[in-house]
């Protein structure tokens, strides 16, 4: 599957394409031979072809803004939503621009709203002016390909599939998915983390963290009230599972006869050493995910406040190398906590204790 773009100059974006559905889950679904899941199996095989076509390229660190790059005062979002019409030509037909009334297409309107909610979190809470810090327009294409089982950030815009209808529903239906994918853009324009091994797992975890925070900020949920799920609502009623991943309890998001059991570890004791999925970026992200949740649980209140600020500053402060390991990232978050709240603060203690609990050495 080769994605065609309206502008040949954006072909380089494939090098940093990051998708929400892990390859291991698609492989499991692709092997299904039950007639009731035939469409889902075909859709998974197609999605796997797409993932493999860019997997090697996207292991390269994404182009990042240099540390200390200018970030201007946040302005309003500038959103544009297109309809790919079941094709793979991007961006597609324009269906809704900033300030226009709802289009009547649920996918287009969910995408429009989700872009806005994500922009609002980064602007209101972190003072960031869109994804790149300098007012980047937020573009999205819906109805990509046929029964496409994924959503992705391609380095330039968001792209959403409609799902197969048997296992996955439309991908615009989960706000945490939209926030997750746009957060890959924030990482691209800040630390530029490589998409392989532990750096790649940190990349995925940061997107999970901010995907969860987008949803929590919209609903004004406290740490205790939030679900801490990524992709809640993506599965059809035929699937035994709540979501793709859980930050509160990695490894418990689903347990299904077709999809298998959520394989994420919650500490280094169960770290998965694998060459698949660029070194297990979607699996091992459960470890830093759990660390963030533990910080939020210890601090209490709203997770986008102190915990979110610590993680955001660690990502954007200019000291995080593109090939960071879990230990390097842990030390960076601890340093951010000290700079923001002091070495004797409850926030710093919570960060150190969280990483110790998941067995990552600072």
Within 8 A by CB and 6+ apart from 126, the residues are: 308, 309, 312
Query: What is the rounded distance in angstroms from the CA atom of residue 185 to the CA atom of residue 140?
Result: 13
Q: Are 153 and 147 in contact (CB under 8 A)?
A: no
What is each CA distance from 95 to 106, 111, 141, in whole angstroms?
12, 11, 9
At 138, list the tokens: 């937020």
What's the gap between Cα 27 and its chain centre? 20
What's the gap between Cα 358 and its chain centre? 21
- Closest by alpha carbon to 195, among 58, 34, 351, 15? 58
Taking each helix axis from N to C end, the angle separating 175-188 and 197-219, rounded to the nearest 10 degrees, works out to 130
DSSP string, 38-57: HHHHHHHHHHHHHHHHHHTG
3-class DSSP assignment, residue 39 = helix
Q: What are residue 74's phi and psi, to 5 degrees?
A: -60, 135
- Closest by alpha carbon to 328, among 201, 231, 217? 201
What's the gap between Cα 352 and its chain centre? 24
Q: What are residue 152's phi and psi, to 5 degrees?
A: -150, 155
Residue 230, strand partner residues: 245
DSSP label at 260?
A: E
DSSP label at 66?
A: P
Give the active site residues: 181, 282
């Amino acid at each position: 599957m080769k994605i065609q773009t309206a502008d040949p100059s954006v072909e380089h974006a494939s090098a940093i394409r990051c998708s929400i559905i892990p390859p291991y889950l698609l492989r499991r679904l692709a092997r299904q031979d039950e007639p009731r899941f035939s469409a889902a199996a075909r859709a998974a095989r197609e999605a796997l072809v797409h993932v493999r076509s860019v997997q090697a390229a996207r292991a390269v660190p994404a182009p990042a803004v240099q540390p200390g790059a200018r970030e201007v005062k946040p302005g309003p979002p500038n959103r544009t939503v297109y309809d790919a019409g079941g094709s793979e030509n991007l961006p597609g037909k324009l269906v809704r621009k900033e300030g226009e009334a709802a289009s009547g297409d649920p996918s287009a309107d969910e995408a429009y709203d989700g872009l806005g909610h994500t922009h609002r979190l980064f602007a209101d809470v972190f003072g960031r002016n869109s994804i790149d810090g300098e007012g980047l327009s937020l573009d999205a294409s819906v109805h990509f390909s046929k029964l496409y089982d994924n959503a992705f950030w391609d380095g330039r815009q968001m792209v959403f599939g409609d799902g197969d209808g048997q296992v996955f529903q439309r991908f615009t239906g989960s706000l945490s998915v939209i926030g997750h994918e746009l957060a890959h853009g924030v990482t691209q324009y800040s630390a530029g983390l490589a998409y392989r091994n532990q750096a790649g797992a940190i990349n995925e975890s940061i997107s999970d963290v901010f995907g969860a925070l987008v949803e929590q900020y919209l609903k004004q949920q406290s740490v205790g009230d939030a679900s801490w799920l990524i992709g809640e609502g993506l599965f059809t009623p035929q699937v035994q599972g709540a979501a793709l991943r859980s930050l509160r309890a990695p490894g418990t998001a689903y347990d299904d006869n077709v999809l298998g059991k959520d394989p994420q570890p919650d500490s280094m004791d169960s770290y998965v050493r694998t060459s698949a999925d660029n070194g297990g970026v979607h699996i091992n992200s459960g470890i830093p995910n759990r660390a963030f949740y533990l910080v939020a649980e210890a601090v209490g209140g709203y997770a986008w406040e102190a915990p979110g600020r610590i993680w955001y500053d660690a990502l954007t402060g200019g000291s995080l190398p593109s090939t960071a390991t879990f230990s390097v990232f842990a030390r960076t978050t601890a340093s951010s906590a000290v700079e923001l709240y002091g070495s004797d603060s409850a926030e710093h203690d919570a960060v150190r204790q969280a990483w110790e609990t998941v067995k990552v050495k600072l």
